[in-house]
Structure 1
């Protein structure tokens, strides 16, 4: 008996081309409209996410203001009806011969009405003001609810502000993190573990079975503000190393996740999809990162943050007061944690031209970080982080803006690789 043939998925650049070319038809079919009238929808793409190795996801705003529609080429199971009998999402089967070479399987596109995200069951409650007030207000009135970040199928972050009238009118803000329920459980575990070790992480205020966790808002401003002002030279980088040194040994018992640079092949693929005209340079970067890490002493496994960069470090002037986003805390290598910061710092000018002290920042932080790890591991890994950020510059409908930004990130990654000792 012949064994079943493995599915041959469309190349992701073809998935992206198909989504962009047929968005109106997919949105119309996915929400039950007659596809012959799809042009009247004129959906506007407001978010695009390319997750290398998984697929393409996008979010669209409808022309009539009736909401947002999400769609993805990532593999999802056939939807099961909710308690009210409705399907949480629709799956459209697109014959492979339409736009893909002969021999590819049909493409399946899943479509949903936001906020009924197929993998984030808690989002539908957290994103609706009336339901968020009941679930997290503790009797206070919700005055504002905004989405800070949303990555379809992955996570969402919302900021909720509540007003308290007794004994006097005051306001407080909390952050709602919406994740897959199993990952939310892990996040809460990590947060409590680090808080118990004295690290300045936000307090967990509530945790629900649907994958929503509420955290107290911390005071302080992102380290990026200091870097914009003086390249971060008023902060002793040894304080960042000391913060990582406080990570408890129990972190080593958590699951290990590959560093950004360990997945450089996937991120390089996404970068080539975003910037096909720079494919050769991206190939060279990918090879350079691999060669640097192959030649380096990457050090032992130690407790790591996993996403250690300026946006997750809060400052009160030049004093560290907060550590955010502990989702990726686990065993890793110190060089990769420090390289994460260097890689993000290097691309800041491509995000905002007001960052004019980046070379000073890289010299300032790098000179201290090199004392505790192999410079080849540090700068090679930092270049890998830079590669991971190239495709993220893509902004729907703003090609004239995001292509130069993506090229700026590519150039920053090349400059990081040039710092690897020969």
Structure 2
């Protein structure tokens, strides 16, 4: 990345200065990644200041908003920063820094610090110049995205396009929604459209993740403006494009209602997906509206997935993932290490006794309430199937139940309808899957979700994690999967002790 690219795009002025004292105190103890402890907390501004100053800016404050951490391998942190370019008023910027056991990342600025223990290398970049998502910078302005969409949508007037960053996970993926305003509804934007949208509204990235937003949460606002979604553009590592295209084609042929890929570019890592219209299950739950899909509807989708043949590597089980997530949390939250070690050991024992290997079929791999589009209680769209592959169908169901339980146990006032729906889904799922096995896998998935408050650096993230770990342990000792019901389900037993 050329140093000048740190400031090719400017974002909208931030409304207030972020107090550095708000940084969460995280203490990484990872000998393989000695630089990791400098990337979260008060030291982060010292890591980011040199590259910003080298490209003509002055960093006022910085706050970590998303952490991707794999112990012994890599850590990537996304920051919300206030930066003043050329003495102008500070503006909100999205910065990222990474440390890996493989050394500096090509395409990013490398900062090397001399320490008594040896040099520490940290790779730094600025949105949208992700060193892995090389096509991302092409889809953050209306002019450029109109060129990307030209082959699939024909000529588009950039002044009629409105962009919204749905999600950005550094080095992994980004999704941009493209809306088109009706002709004659440009307001007084005129030629300012390009400049305003060049700001790409990436300050919403943090809010999107923190509020469990997805690519359709603000549909009502867009409808009021007369906007119509014309496409979603996804940026992935270029090496992933062929696999994503193959998955979509195979799943569509098997009857899974996934979005059609309208254009794919393996050189840039960009994919253009048709929009699937309708609310997600998550939106319906949050608004307590509409008809919700029942277990039988998810069974139908699972059967459709099972009919697809994918040439992909087998997916790790939820139990194996639960072990890794428990160990990761123990690294960043040593006060809970004893409980997390206990959970990891229980998941390992259950994994060793796994009797579901013969039931491996194609599954989604990360199925949850935000991944399905619902119309009149029927699932009409399935999203984000990039990781679909051979796995155990029980893991998809466990992940779905864990997501619903997460919402129940992290809501200030859990909705009675949601609690009842979790109960119904649990009872109905017991007719398809072994109930004790489903309970422990749900616990493992819940431990994975417990990493979320840490990754997003949420306020009181340690308190939230402890609450979720307690729920996971209750499931592992024959506790209830029925929302907030104090009575254990009659079919659940102490599976983790076997």
TM-score (structure 2 length as normaliser): 0.71
Give runs of aligned pairs for residues 204-215 of structure 1, distance below 5 A: 204-208=261-265, 209-215=267-273
How far did 1:408 drift?
3.3
Q: Distance in 2 between matches of 1:282 and 1:125?
A: 43
CA distance in structure 2 between the partners assigned to 1:234 and 1:129 by the alignment: 36
Matches within 5 A, 1:249-288: 249-288=307-346
Distance 1:159 1:333, change over 3 A: same
Contact 1:59 1:71 survives alignment (8 Å):
yes
Matched residues in 2 for 1:213 and 1:56: separation? Answer: 26
Q: State the 1:171 CA deviation.
A: 2.9
Shift of 1:177: 1.3
Find the counterpart in structure 2 of residue 379 from structure 1. 439
Query: Does 2:25 align with 1:27?
Result: no
Could you say if the C-alpha distance between residues 321 and 418 of structure 1 is closer, same or farther in structure 2, counting changes exceeding 3 Å? Answer: farther
Give the SS at the match of 1:340. Answer: helix
Partners of 2:111 and 2:344 lie apart in 1 by: 35
Number of residue pairs the alignment of both structures matches: 397
| 2:161 counterpart residue number | 143
SS in structure 1 at match of 2:384: coil
Partner of 1:155: 173
CA contact (8 A) 1:292 1:376 kept: no
Of 240, 245, 248 in structure 2, the residue corresponding to residue 191 of structure 1 is 248
| In structure 1, C-alpha distance between the alignment counterparts of 2:428 and 2:453, rounded to whole Å | 29
The equivalent of 2:372 in structure 1 is 313
Any idea what the Cα deviations from partners look like across 1:77-128, whole Å, max 9, x if unmatched?
6566xxxxxxx31222334536xxxxxx643210112211111101111223
Distance 2:364 2:458 in 1: 33
Superposition pairs of residues 103-252 of structure 1, within 5 angstroms: 106-136=119-149, 138-141=154-157, 142-163=160-181, 165=183, 171-208=228-265, 209-227=267-285, 235-247=293-305, 249-252=307-310
Q: Distance in 1 between matches of 2:446 and 2:67?
A: 19
Alignment match, 1:326: 385
The alignment's C-alpha RMSD in Å is: 3.2
Aligned with residue 10 of structure 1, among 28, 31, 44: 31
Partner residue in 2 for 1:102: none
Offset from partner CA, 1:6-49 (integer Å, 9 cap, x none): xx9735697235543421221122345399x97x5323333333
Question: Are the equivalent residues in 1 in contact too, given 2:347–2:440 (CA < 8 A)?
Answer: yes
The verdict on how the C-alpha distance between 1:349 and 1:404 changes in structure 2, with shifts beyond 3 A counting, is farther
Pair 1:53–1:362, CA change in 2 (3 A): farther
Moved more, 213-222 or 254-263: 254-263
Give 1:298 deviation, angstroms: 1.9
Give the direction of change, closer, same or farther, for the CA distance of 1:304–1:353 in structure 2 (3 Å limit).
same
Q: Which residue of 1 is the match for residue 18 of structure 2?
A: none
In structure 2, distance between residues paired with 1:200 and 1:354: 34
Separation in 2, partners of 1:34, 1:296: 54
Q: Distance in 1 between matches of 2:74 and 2:105?
A: 18
Match of 1:368, SS state, is: helix
Instruction: Identify the residue that residue 3 of structure 1 maps to in structure 2.
Output: none
In the TM superposition, what is the alpha-carbon distance from 1:407 to its structure 2 partner?
A: 2.9
Q: After the TM superposition, which of the residue ranges 340-349 and 42-51 deviates more from structure 2? A: 42-51
Distance in 2 of aligned mates of 1:79 and 1:239: 44
Q: Does 1:421 align with 2:493?
A: yes
Unmatched segments (≥5 aa) in structure 1? 1-7, 81-87, 99-104
Alpha-carbon distance in structure 1 between the residues aligned to 2:182 and 2:55: 48
Q: CA deviation at 1:201?
A: 0.9
Query: Aligned in 2, Cα 1:136/1:231: closer, same or farther, shift over 3 Å?
Result: closer
Output one character per residue of 1:334-372: Cα deviation in whole Å (capped at 9) or x when no partner.
111111111111111344435434543333112222223
Separation in 2, partners of 1:66, 1:362 = 40
Q: Is the 8 A contact 1:343 1:413 kept in 2?
A: no
- Whether 2:70 is the aligned partner of 1:54: answer no
1:412 equivalent in alignment to 2:471: yes
Whether 2:383 is the aligned partner of 1:364: answer: no
Deviations 1:285-327 (A, max 9, x none): 2222222333342242111111111111111131221111111
Is 2:347 aligned against 1:302?
Answer: no
**Where do 5+ consecutive residues of structure 2 fail to align?**
1-28, 84-89, 185-225, 479-491
Query: 2: CA distance between counterparts of 1:257 and 1:14?
Result: 30
Deviates more, 1:249-258 or 1:319-328: 249-258
Q: What is aligned with 1:71?
A: 97
CA separation of 1:52 and 1:155: change in aligned 2, threshold 3 A: farther
Distance in 1 of aligned mates of 2:290 and 2:336: 32
